[in-house]
Structure 1
Amino acid sequence: MRRVLLLMALFGAGLGQAEAQQQTAKKPLTHDVYDSWKAVEGDMISNNGKYVLFNVNPQEGDGALYIKNYTANSMQQFARGSKAAITNDSRYAVFQIKPEYNKVRALKLKKKKADDLPKDSLAIVALENMSVVKVPRVKSYKLPKEASNWIAYQLEKPLPGKKEAKKDEPKVTEGAPTEKKAEAPKTAAAKPAAKGKTKKSEGTELVLRNLQTGQEHRFTRVTDYFLSDKGNMLYFVKDELDSLHKAGVFAFSTSDLKVMPVDTGKVTYKAISADKAGEQLAFVATMDTVGADIRYFNLNYWTKKENKARVLADTLSKGMPKDWMVSEHGNLKFSEDGKRLFFGTFPRPTRYEKDTTKLEEEKVSLDIWTYKDPLIQPMQLKQLDKELKRSFLALYDLKGKKMQQLASLEMPDVYLDAYGQADVALGVSDEKYKMTIGYDTPTKKDAYLIDLKKGTKKQVLNETRGLPQLSPMGEFVYWYEPTDSSWHTVSVKGGTKKNLTKSIGVPFFEEDNDMPMLPGSYDMAGWVEKDSYLLVYDRYDIWKLDPSGKKAPVNLTDKYGRTNKLRLRYEQLDPEQKFIPENATLYLSAFNYTDKSYGFFRDFVSKATQPEKLVMTPNSYLSLKKAKNENRFTFRKGSYREYTDLYSADQSFANAEKLSNANPQINEYLWGNVELVNWKSTDGKPLEGLLFKPDNFDPKKKYPMLVYFYERSSDGLHQHRTPAPSASTINIPYYVSNDYLVFVPDIVYTDGYPGESAMDCIIPGVQTLVAQGFVDDKRMALQGQSWGGYQIAYMVTRTNMFRAAMAGAPVSNMTSAYGGIRWGTGLSRQFQYERTQSRIGGTLWEKPMQYIENSPLFFADRVKTPLLIMHNDQDGAVPWYQGIEYFMALRRLNKPVWMLVYNGEDHNLVQRKNRKDLSVRMSQFFDHYLKGAPAPKWMQQGVPSTVKGKEYGFELIETAAEPKE
């Protein structure tokens, strides 16, 4: 027995040594591996469930499209495939093929023009045998929603200097069929130009291809196009070439293969739209030139049966408000039954004469701010383009042949039922309350029912704080009201108002809201067909509510969520779904609040059964999809250690098949693990957080630790985090791979004390970890962005326990930030401090000391922690001057502080080159202070403006003094 135990011990030691050697062979992540890390994107499943396609794309470089064939149990790969779709009959996959990344980059380095760069190709794959037809230089393609035989695609301009057709080629009549299945189709011979001035066409060739026969039809000079839902009609717009080749709208019938000119001779055609049957067409057009001060558009209508366009609405039409006109920016839409046409109008703009008596340099440019402006000037300027293109919804009754204006200046937002067929619309207006935007949130609104038969309106809501909407059939107005935390309805026919949730006895407001504002709802799943029920969420479950209030509310998920601390949410598997069928099987995503695991459940709308668990594991699950006609599902599954790859399963969700393996190289690197940790705040509140540990973690070893936070992050325990250059925050896998601990604590806030709340939650969490013996308490640092950056800027005025800190876009002075502007939206920042994230809970003059006490700037003299700030000069969320104020104060006090300002960048970095740059600088900063690495030149000597763009200061200075303990 003793010998057996000895052998077992030796065998166990051997396994331990082998595992240790395997881990030792792994390497830490470096900044130069980011580009090769891949993402699974664009996944879809065919209607018959036999095919799944998805993209695997690197962060930079050439990706690939994959098609899984379940019939043949095979996987096909297509290099650089993108923008993929599967036809409605599941017979074809269509996608574009991008040019090679390195070839395009090389040509860009040679300063080649955009027209000279390689263009996308088109691929059409017959899924049954995987045969491929390729077409070069394709700009775009479109498939009909419901049909399967046709594809339309538009070609790029011909290559410079390349003739469209050889002289000895036979002339092809436009729209006539060709039997070509050519790999490189040529443009049909153009008609001879008319005498007189000829201009260069901006349109390009459009090809309509029959997917079954390969037969093609070609149309030149096309600028816009679409296929009807049923594929029975192709509509397209052509631009003008000369007097014989006018601009116009054309129709092509796919049944009789005939081109029908809809309308020609206008200067501009826009917003073409067809009804569901595909045989009614609407568009707006004008004879006015592009440079005209005011361009008058008409609303035009055409049917295949009549084959003649006529004007439905213009400035003189009955029903058009005085001095109003048809908008070129309106959204043209037919009702589901094709009996109504909705379009946009707007007030005719004032015509201003050009002042020819002044030079440009003599003209004054200014903004005039007044206290009576409904919106402050920055908001007006930010919304200027939107305002200039604003349109107001109008209706044309095609049967009754009359126009009705629905929206107005006083009631600009009008909403329809799901089909556009109800006899009412819902008007919503916050016009009376716009003065309060910026400090009174959520903004008040009034709501009106508009009778589409009588043309009258009736106010049904006054000063609601909710977002009133119309049910799919138009039977009810419904909304969540923050002032009483309840769901409400108003019956359209009787006007009866009902509070649907007041008597239930569970909260429908966000239970963990910790902002000094009215809490929002947990949202809703949708409506059951015929407007019979409304499905809404509490924190855990789904409730089935009778909108008339006659039937008692029913907990659809049988309180299973609340009993088991699960959040259950409906997964809408049909993106076109307007309602939930009464006999529907509901597939639910599930999240366990206790252990943070995810999964899927199944339940029913009309059956009184508990939810059935399909799968629930310590992973993240997302992006559930279902084949339209079969019980085959796809979903994404991952964890911190496993990339969120694509899986497929049948309705039992047992034995799921892994379809993608996007990042097998993860096994080559030291990666680490994550665990949930618990502690209590200074005032005794239980808290959670995430602790990321390196591979081969040794509890007897002392590790440097980074503390990153925002508000609450612990629910992301099983979230996979991809190595990628940073937009503003630390890349956790990079630091854990390089032997750092990373702690991500949750924060719970007390109104009026946001900075102190951060201290009360974070410091005890850090101390709890330090007490376990594996954290080097002399080598800890803080990092965060925006709200996290503010909290760091505050904390370093209150504690010296951290060796270094990095704060991205921090607010440093709440007194000046309060009166500032969020330049990204033009909003006043007041609301943020009074009611939302900053959580002061009052105005500057009501609570001046709390604004000062929570402002790091006023305590800059207490800072001893070396601080790195990033604040970019085009930050639209936190004004750049906030970072400048703090930097200048610390600089004057001779504190170690640096500020990175990426030119032209917003709140978070967008440009990849800048993200890579920031990632290197952050790691150099933390390695210096937490690992004793030499400081880089940019930290020791800076980078003078005279060498900007020539030197970057990444070089490490070996003789630099080590950071003091």
Structure 2
Amino acid sequence: MKLLPITSLVLLSLGALSAVQAETRTKPLTLTDIMHFESLGKPVIADNGRVFAVESAPDRGDSHTIIKNVHTGQDYNIAGGSEPMISHNGRYVAMVVKPSLLTVETSDAKTKKQLKADMVLLDTQTGTQTRFERVKEFAFSHAGNHLAIWFEADEETPKDPKEAIETAEILTGGPVKAEKSKVDKFDQGRRFSLINLENQAQRIDAEHVTAYVFDKDSRRLALAINDIANQRHQLRLVDLTSQQQSTVFESNSQQIGALALAKNGRWLAFTQGKDSELPYGRSYQLSLVDLQSGKLSKIPESPEWKLNRYTSLSFSLDSERLFFGRVPEVSQQLSLKKITEEKDLYDKEIVTGLRGLKVWHGDDPRIKPNEIKQYEKEQQRTYLAVLHLGSNNVVQLGDQTVPDVTISQHKRFMLASSDLPYRKMTTWAGFYQDYYLVDINTGRKVLFLTQQPSDAEPTLSGKGKYVAYYQQGHVYLYDIAEGRRTNLTQSLKVSFADEDHDYPSSAPGYGFGPWLKDDAGFLVYDKYDVWQFNTESKAGFVLTAGQGRAQKIQYRIEGLVDNPDEPTELSHNATVLLHGYSDKTKADGFYQATLGTAGVNTLMQGEYKLSVLGRSKDADTLLFSKERFDLFPDLYTASYNAPQNAVKQTELDKQRQAFNWSQSELVHWTNGDGKPLDGVLIKPTHYQQGKRYPVLVYYYQVMTDRLHAFPSMHINHRPNFAWYADNGYAIFLPDIRFDIGYPGASSVQALTSGVQKLIDIGIADPNAIGLQGHSWSGYQTVFAITQTKMFKAAVAGAPVANMISGYSGIRHGTGLARQFQYETGQSRIGASLFAAPQKYIENSPVFYADRIQTPLMIMFGDKDDAVPWEQGIEMYLAMRRAGKEVVFLQYEDEPHHLKKYPNKLDYSIRMMEYFDHYLKGRPAPEWLSKVTV
């Protein structure tokens, strides 16, 4: 054996080390890199748990879909794919393929309107891909053996109207006027295809299809075909086994509307109305086909109620009832008179009939802007009714007094609600509901809960015997048959109200878990633990044995099968997966509990964040993600009962590994009142012990639950944490705890004490602290700089500056007044303007603009739909008048959060330049230093 000299060994070792370093060397993160950085979304898993699909999309650019067989490892990557859908057995995956970003950006406005998405069908066994162009909608049958494809309307080649008129005049021998099509868009049918996936040569194509529906057992498909131009209307039924078609209804004048097929295969329901009537005012008739006998019957109409274009149909799972929507019969409105001759010019009735006026009354249930926003929803509102197929009896369940009824399966009673008594007070008090139980046999309504906050919805048991609900810190059980309610928690020492609630309103509860089978019991949460209550004995016990409260871990049941038809019910001894979140470490874990037995079994826990994304219906496969600040949330699959043995299925963390990356850690301190607070510290990528750094403070309310969250890799209204860390900034995310009536002061106290902690431990440069917030934290930012000199630069997006003018401002997105935000909501004043005017002044930064010594950059979209953008103008003008450093960025035609990519990118660049100038001493960019004339 030949020995190498020692010097040669050293050189070889150094060379090998250099090679390793070259392989692991990372690069700086740029905005362009962020544009290309991909994130996962819209994951789905096959019912048998064998295949999953997920959309992977960059911040800017075209998405692709990742499909993988978790058993064989076979994977596919479909360029342009998004919104995947998987067949029942996982063999086929269908997905949307939108026009590429380059195609969209290089098209003119007219061409953009004509661009439509395609659909790609992937056979995961063979790898075959089939592309279908201009697809509007697609769906697999429930068994997954058939695929329905509904295409976009065909592009019509525009004709020269003059040429068309001349041609018509030649044919008719007389003058012809140009006319618009009389076919409303609602009535326009589209091309349709049904593909047998087991034999794709078997394909059914149809034109003028306006609706289709599969039955739940995948035996049949119903098609509504409406060809108004040729006065041909057909209701077809397709046998999915034989591929044979039959026509069950045909007409030359009756437009076919909604469709429904019963699960037992016996019934087909549909609506029909005269095609000569415009769909907006068309009345429909409910019809029912007995598919065993072929008999078609029309359900008798009601003089008080009618069906319209928005009527939907659905059968109960036992096929004994048909649910449908109706609206009250109303008299036809009189049309406005028009000016047709000279005397009409002076007719007061005709002239004022053309006015543009809205009258606001003090007793209006909704203020006019909100009424306008709700108009379309109210126009489409229908009231639930039920047809009992055995008796052919129709019962109206919802009405103008109790409008909202929730369909429940296998139950005599349904939950219904009404916000009508509280619509006026919504303006200042928030949202409330009355709750009723509706008897589906008689329509009789029993009021059992009044003025319940809208975020405290009751839960109905599986068999419909009980209702559980939360109210004023306690959990109640209502026995429907006996009409008796029981406070289940009055003797317990544990509170079921949100212990951290710092709003001027009643504290909400923590929510309910699932019901047990046969209505034997239900699960409910306190802050930390899961409780199981028995409906018969009314007794309860801590399923998690108090370990949650003892260890400060918040346990919640996760990974239940998502069933859209009816909620999941658990057997009395079921084993359930628990997600646990540690209040102390902010880390997650998976745990296990068995119903009926107190105790928790730890499956996995660590310094990361876990998110359950789905579970297969017919297998126990769990799909979840695991992440840290320095670990991308890749997908994992595992047995529902053993997530600790998970297999990693995606590898998107590789893109992070190419860049410089920081880490996050938890910081503890106490504020001036001695209250303990936490925050997240993200150190600069190349952090050196003992060196002080510029700090960017970003916050809102509670932020420490983001300790182990991977940073959002998007360019938007927020600073990108990874980018700032790689550019030498420490990022600080402090928790803010508010005192009612003093939101501004309590925020400042948390901010300044937290930043002081960073200064004390040698991280922060006290002369280079920046503050950034948006919306609620935009307000806090502007207020903070009126109270302290600690911050050397601040950026506030969409801030409220003046609570007095903001109090009666309008949220233009919803049309709601902003009063409730101050009296009971986020702004936390806790009283009306006239009850506590001084508090509105004390918490409004605009009144203290003359005290500001911190440069401020304000950003607003001038179509802000949440905060009136005039709030930004008020602050800008106040600082301008006081001679303070201020710059205002007005983004045109933008809402509360910037939507247009050029604007998002521009704002991100300017924000970094702004902080670099004031915190790092870099030269001011021209846009900041140059005064426009």
TM-score (norm 1): 0.86
Shift of the alpha carbon at 1:225? 1.9
Aligned pair partner of 1:589 in 541, 561, 579: 579
After TM superposition, the structure 1 stretch with the greater mean CA deviation from structure 2, 887-896 or 39-48, is 39-48
Q: Distance in 2 between matches of 1:161 and 1:272?
A: 32
| Secondary structure in 2 matching 1:644 | strand
8 A contact 2:561–2:616 mirrored in 1 = no
Shift of the alpha carbon at 1:438? 2.1
Q: How do residues 493-504 of structure 1 correspond to structure 2 at under 5 angstroms?
A: 493-504=481-492
8 A contact 2:680–2:732 mirrored in 1 = yes
| Secondary structure in 2 matching 1:601 | strand
Shift of the alpha carbon at 1:212? 1.4
After TM superposition, the structure 1 stretch with the greater mean CA deviation from structure 2, 841-850 or 148-157, is 148-157
Partner of 2:872: 883
Shift of the alpha carbon at 1:64? 2.5
Q: Distance in 1 between matches of 2:498 and 2:26?
A: 45
Structure 2 vs 1, CA of residues 403 and 61 (structure 1 numbering), >3 Å: closer, same or farther?
same
8 A contact 1:80–1:97 mirrored in 2 = yes
Structure 2 vs 1, CA of residues 308 and 923 (structure 1 numbering), >3 Å: closer, same or farther?
farther
Structure 2 vs 1, CA of residues 942 and 634 (structure 1 numbering), >3 Å: closer, same or farther?
farther
Q: How do residues 608-623 of structure 1 correspond to structure 2 at under 5 angstroms?
A: 608-623=597-612
Q: Distance in 1 between matches of 2:407 and 2:109?
A: 53
Shift of the alpha carbon at 1:99? 4.6
Q: Distance in 2 between matches of 1:435 and 1:34?
A: 46
1:247 matched to 2:233:
yes
Structure 2 vs 1, CA of residues 161 and 875 (structure 1 numbering), >3 Å: closer, same or farther?
closer
Partner of 1:396: 387
1:659 matched to 2:646:
no
Partner of 1:910: 899
Q: Distance in 1 between matches of 2:464 and 2:621?
A: 34
Partner of 2:164: none
Gaps of 5+ in 2: 1-6, 159-180, 340-344
Gaps of 5+ in 1: 1-6, 163-196, 317-321, 945-965
Shift of the alpha carbon at 1:930? 1.2
After TM superposition, the structure 1 stretch with the greater mean CA deviation from structure 2, 133-142 or 38-47, is 133-142
| Secondary structure in 1 matching 2:791 | coil
| Secondary structure in 2 matching 1:57 | strand
Q: How do residues 544-583 of structure 1 correspond to structure 2 at under 5 angstroms?
A: 544-548=532-536, 550-576=537-563, 578-582=567-571, 583=573
Aligned pair partner of 1:152 in 141, 148, 152: 148
Shift of the alpha carbon at 1:149? 2.2
Q: Distance in 1 between matches of 2:932 and 2:531?
A: 61
Shift of the alpha carbon at 1:295? 2.4
Q: Distance in 1 between matches of 2:50 and 2:752?
A: 54
After TM superposition, the structure 1 stretch with the greater mean CA deviation from structure 2, 772-781 or 277-286, is 277-286
8 A contact 1:122–1:138 mirrored in 2 = no
Structure 2 vs 1, CA of residues 18 and 542 (structure 1 numbering), >3 Å: closer, same or farther?
farther
1:844 matched to 2:833:
yes
1:221 matched to 2:208:
yes
Shift of the alpha carbon at 1:36? 0.9
Number of matched pairs: 882
Structure 2 vs 1, CA of residues 785 and 361 (structure 1 numbering), >3 Å: closer, same or farther?
farther
Shift of the alpha carbon at 1:599? 1.9
Partner of 2:120: 122
CA deviation map 1:533-578 (0-9, x unaligned): 1111011111111234x24202112222122211111114311152
Shift of the alpha carbon at 1:263? 4.3
Q: How do residues 226-241 of structure 1 correspond to structure 2 at under 5 angstroms?
A: 226-241=213-228
TM-score (norm 2): 0.89
- Which letter does structure 2 place at the counterpart of 1:905? E
Structure 2 vs 1, CA of residues 386 and 96 (structure 1 numbering), >3 Å: closer, same or farther?
closer
Partner of 2:111: 112
Shift of the alpha carbon at 1:110? 9.0
8 A contact 2:416–2:435 mirrored in 1 = yes
Q: Distance in 2 between matches of 1:603 and 1:365?
A: 64
Shift of the alpha carbon at 1:305? 2.2
Partner of 1:77: 77
CA deviation map 1:256-276 (0-9, x unaligned): 412224343346433322222
| Secondary structure in 1 matching 2:427 | coil
8 A contact 1:369–1:377 mirrored in 2 = yes
1:328 matched to 2:309:
yes
After TM superposition, the structure 1 stretch with the greater mean CA deviation from structure 2, 458-467 or 570-579, is 458-467
8 A contact 1:294–1:351 mirrored in 2 = no
Shift of the alpha carbon at 1:82? 2.8
CA deviation map 1:482-511 (0-9, x unaligned): x3x111121111111111122222111111
Aligned pair partner of 1:413 in 397, 404, 407: 404
- Which letter does structure 2 place at the counterpart of 1:584? A
Q: How do residues 443-842 of structure 1 correspond to structure 2 at under 5 angstroms?
A: 443=432, 445-465=433-453, 466-481=456-471, 483=472, 485-548=473-536, 550-576=537-563, 578-582=567-571, 583-606=573-596, 608-650=597-639, 651-726=641-716, 728-842=717-831
| Secondary structure in 2 matching 1:383 | helix
Structure 2 vs 1, CA of residues 79 and 351 (structure 1 numbering), >3 Å: closer, same or farther?
same
Partner of 2:377: 386
Shift of the alpha carbon at 1:292? 7.4
- Which letter does structure 1 place at the counterpart of 2:288? Y
- Which letter does structure 2 place at the counterpart of 1:716? R
- Which letter does structure 2 place at the counterpart of 1:382? K
8 A contact 1:500–1:547 mirrored in 2 = no
Structure 2 vs 1, CA of residues 935 and 404 (structure 1 numbering), >3 Å: closer, same or farther?
same
TM-align CA RMSD: 3.0
After TM superposition, the structure 1 stretch with the greater mean CA deviation from structure 2, 276-285 or 97-106, is 97-106
Q: Distance in 2 between matches of 1:610 and 1:834?
A: 42
| Secondary structure in 2 matching 1:540 | coil
8 A contact 2:611–2:625 mirrored in 1 = yes
Partner of 1:38: 38
Partner of 2:192: 206
| Secondary structure in 2 matching 1:923 | helix
Q: Distance in 2 between matches of 1:152 and 1:942?
A: 61
Q: Distance in 2 between matches of 1:199 and 1:821?
A: 39
Shift of the alpha carbon at 1:685? 0.2
Structure 2 vs 1, CA of residues 793 and 677 (structure 1 numbering), >3 Å: closer, same or farther?
same
CA deviation map 1:436-485 (0-9, x unaligned): 21223453x4333333334433333344444334323211122111x3x1
Q: Distance in 1 between matches of 2:152 and 2:355?
A: 44
Structure 2 vs 1, CA of residues 819 and 631 (structure 1 numbering), >3 Å: closer, same or farther?
closer
Structure 2 vs 1, CA of residues 213 and 395 (structure 1 numbering), >3 Å: closer, same or farther?
same
8 A contact 1:262–1:308 mirrored in 2 = no
- Which letter does structure 1 place at the counterpart of 2:72? A
Structure 2 vs 1, CA of residues 20 and 441 (structure 1 numbering), >3 Å: closer, same or farther?
farther
Shift of the alpha carbon at 1:383? 0.8
Q: Distance in 2 between matches of 1:472 and 1:330?
A: 27
Structure 2 vs 1, CA of residues 97 and 898 (structure 1 numbering), >3 Å: closer, same or farther?
same
Structure 2 vs 1, CA of residues 857 and 344 (structure 1 numbering), >3 Å: closer, same or farther?
same
Structure 2 vs 1, CA of residues 888 and 198 (structure 1 numbering), >3 Å: closer, same or farther?
closer
Q: Distance in 2 between matches of 1:406 and 1:911?
A: 45
1:282 matched to 2:241:
no
Q: How do residues 24-63 of structure 1 correspond to structure 2 at under 5 angstroms?
A: 26-63=26-63
Percent sequence identity is: 33
Partner of 1:303: 290
Structure 2 vs 1, CA of residues 755 and 293 (structure 1 numbering), >3 Å: closer, same or farther?
closer
8 A contact 2:398–2:405 mirrored in 1 = yes
Structure 2 vs 1, CA of residues 292 and 715 (structure 1 numbering), >3 Å: closer, same or farther?
closer
Shift of the alpha carbon at 1:157? 5.0
Structure 2 vs 1, CA of residues 585 and 928 (structure 1 numbering), >3 Å: closer, same or farther?
same
Partner of 2:360: 369
CA deviation map 1:517-545 (0-9, x unaligned): 11001111121112211111011111111
8 A contact 1:669–1:737 mirrored in 2 = no
After TM superposition, the structure 1 stretch with the greater mean CA deviation from structure 2, 425-434 or 788-797, is 425-434
